[in-house]
Amino acid sequence: MTFLINLIVFLIVLSVIVLIHEAGHLLFAKRAGILCHEYSIGMGPLIYQKEGKETQYSVRAIPLGGYVSMAGEAVSDSMFKKDDTIGLIINGDNLVEEILLYEANHFDVKGVVKSFDMYGKDMKPLFVELETAEGIVRYEIKRNAKYRLSEKSWMWVTPAERSFESKSLWQRFLTIFAGPLMNFILAFVLFFIVGFFVLEPNYESNAIGEVSSDSLADLKGFKEGDLITSINGTSISTWYDLARVMGENDSPIIDITINRDGEVLAYDDVLVATFIQSAGLSNVNENTNEYYAQSAIVGSTSGRAASAGLSVGDEITKINGEDVSNWDDIINYFKTHDTTGDITVTYLRDGNPNTVTYELISEQTLADLGSENIVYQIGVGASGEFDLGYSLLYAPRQLASDVDEVFTTIGLLFGAGDSNIGIGDLSGPVGIFQLVSNVRENGFASLIIFMGFLSINIGILNLLPIPALDGGRIVFLAIEAIIRRPLNRKVENTANLVMFFALMGLIIYVSINDVMRLVNG
Return the SS3 of 386: coil
Tell me how far apart the alpha carbons of residues 324 and 343 are, in angstroms, rounded to a whole number. Answer: 14
State which H helix or E strand residue 224 sits in: none
241: closest CA among 233, 509, 331, 394? 233
Residue 7 confidence (pLDDT): 78
Region 507-518: what's the mean pLDDT?
A: 65
Q: pTM for this structure?
A: 0.84
Residue 413 confidence (pLDDT): 72
Classify residue 52 by burial, with Cβ atoms within 10 Å: 0-12, 13-18, 19+: exposed
Using only C-alpha atoms, the chain has a radius of gyration, in whole angstroms, of 30
Query: To 5 degrees, how large is the angle CA 56–CA 63–CA 19?
Result: 55
- What would the pLDDT profile of 286-345 be if each residue is shown by its tens digit? 778 888 999 999 998 887 888 888 889 999 999 999 999 999 999 999 988 877 788 999
Report whether 310 contacts 298 (CB < 8 A). yes
- Residue 160: CB atoms within 10 A of its CB come to 20
Mean pLDDT lowest among 25-39, 202-216, 494-508: 494-508
Tell me how far apart the alpha carbons of residues 208 and 301 are, in angstroms, rounded to a whole number. Answer: 29
- Residue 84: CB atoms within 10 A of its CB come to 13
- The DSSP symbol for 297 reads B
**Residue 375 scores a pLDDT above 80:** yes
Residue 431 confidence (pLDDT): 53
Residue 173 confidence (pLDDT): 96
State which H helix or E strand residue 283 sits in: none
How many helices (H) and strands (E) the chain has is answered by 12, 26
Report whether 71 contacts 158 (CB < 8 A). yes
pLDDT band (50, 70, 90) for residue 447: confident
Question: What percent of the chain shows pLDDT beyond 70?
Answer: 91
**Residue 167 scores a pLDDT above 90:** yes
Query: To 5 degrees, how large is the angle CA 441–CA 446–CA 447?
Result: 75
Higher pLDDT, 73 or 93: 93
Report whether 20 contacts 66 (CB < 8 A). no
